[in-house]
Structure 1
Amino acid sequence: MTPIRHNGSGNDAVLDAVRDAVLAVGVRRTTLTDVARRAGVSRMTLYRRWPDVRSLVGDLMTREWIAVATGAMPERRPGVTTRALIVDGLVAGVRAFREHPLFRKIVDVDPELLLPYVLDRRGASQEALLELLAGVLREGHDDGSVRAVPAERQARSVLLIVQSYALSLRTMTDEDDPELGEEAFLAELRHILERTLTP
């Protein structure tokens, strides 16, 4: 089920509560009762908006991952191409995503929660990221710094690359060897993105 997206300060308080619960006990042990208590609302208030904990966690992930993506994008600077901003933002985003406490908790305790979005379907987080990415890629097409191909396909291809680094990087790193450490692989990611986006 694709998570329902909600906005507003009341929903933010609920999402803050579910984040705190998940960080404390993981997704499987989080209950709507616990979330309601932490948020200071009734269980029925939650049930009217979210049918279960997973849909709540889906909305939480969408909020958190979009915040990571937008926060990682550097400010525009004179003389810096859109392609350079995209590459810097994506590499910084992968680093920030992997360091995010919610991501780390889910990977450590409830990794199966991520499997549907890797193997079966796109979730709300991915749809929102694709929309953001396609928009900035079109800007790169306009200024000539990004290879001009259909933006939606290009966004999906780039997200496939970035997603594999974000989700699977720790399976390939060896922190005892500087040539196989995380920073070395992030440098490789930068190179891959530069090559695939350069006209």
Structure 2
Amino acid sequence: VGWRRTTLTEVARRAGVSRMTIYRAWPDMPQLLGDLMTREWGGVVTASVAAAGPDGPAESDPVEKLVAQVAATVRALRDNELFLRIVELDPELLLPYLLSRRGRSQDAILALVEGAVRDGQAAGAVRDGDPAAIARAVVLATHGFVLSAHTMVDDAVSEADLDEELRVLLRRTLAR
């Protein structure tokens, strides 16, 4: 039914717990949404990074490892059921995280990317520059690939084509 029409009472009923149980944990729907998105996106990132794993050429190349991890995360977020439902039914819920402030999930992602950039710089594989600024540029660039890739797919350009272009963009952004 979408986020706007969901109540904490409905959440409690669907979860099979009392309303007070829900109200003790979350005083309102925005707090519940924030916690839900943080948990969901954190799980997506963790699983994507692990799935992109350190096998093959990425194992010894910090740039390729980070490119594989970011690309896998973008794909996973783009295909995530909760994310798709929010975009389909309540896209305005994402606007504060794109226009006004960072969320906890974004901060966690930034920390992971910044750490990978620092490690890559220490190994001599990632270009010089402020790791925080580079990480933020990577996250900003990926926003479009997560949120808007579907608007750029047609008979001439596939989602796979765009995913490859993302990898090219990331390689060129990170490489020495």
Task: Say yes or no: TM over 0.5.
Answer: yes
- CA deviation digits over 1:142-177, x for unaligned, max 9? 111111311111111110001121011112221x22
Q: Percent identity?
A: 50
**1:29 lines up with 2:20 in the alignment:** no
Counterpart in the other structure of 2:83: 103
CA RMSD of aligned residues (A): 1.5
Counterpart in the other structure of 2:125: 145
Deviation (angstroms), 1:84 = 0.7
Deviation (angstroms), 1:39 = 2.6
- CA deviation digits over 1:55-113, x for unaligned, max 9? 21111111111211121122224752111111011111111111111111111110000
> Of 28, 36, 53, which residue of structure 2 is paired with 1:75?
53
Counterpart in the other structure of 2:113: 133
Structure 2 matches for 1:21-100, cutoff 5 A? 25-73=1-49, 74-77=52-55, 80-100=60-80
Counterpart in the other structure of 2:172: 195
Which whole-Å CA distance do the structure 2 matches of 1:68 and 1:148 have between them? 29
TM-score (norm 1): 0.81
Which whole-Å CA distance do the structure 1 matches of 2:46 and 2:62 have between them? 15
SS at match of 2:5: coil
> What runs of 5+ residues in structure 1 fail to find an aligned partner?
1-24
**1:164 lines up with 2:107 in the alignment:** no
> What runs of 5+ residues in structure 2 fail to find an aligned partner?
none
Counterpart in the other structure of 1:182: 159
TM-score (norm 2): 0.91
Which whole-Å CA distance do the structure 2 matches of 1:164 and 1:41 have between them? 38
SS at match of 2:102: coil
Deviation (angstroms), 1:45 = 2.5
Deviation (angstroms), 1:194 = 0.2
Which whole-Å CA distance do the structure 2 matches of 1:90 and 1:62 have between them? 18
Which whole-Å CA distance do the structure 1 matches of 2:78 and 2:55 have between them? 27
SS at match of 2:142: helix
- CA deviation digits over 1:25-79, x for unaligned, max 9? 2211221112112333322232232221122111111111121112112222475
Q: Which amino acid aligns with 2:9?
A: T
Which whole-Å CA distance do the structure 2 matches of 1:77 and 1:184 have between them? 23
Q: Which amino acid aligns with 2:74?
A: V
SS at match of 1:87: helix
Q: Which amino acid aligns with 1:135?
A: G
Which whole-Å CA distance do the structure 1 matches of 2:55 and 2:121 have between them? 18
**1:173 lines up with 2:153 in the alignment:** yes
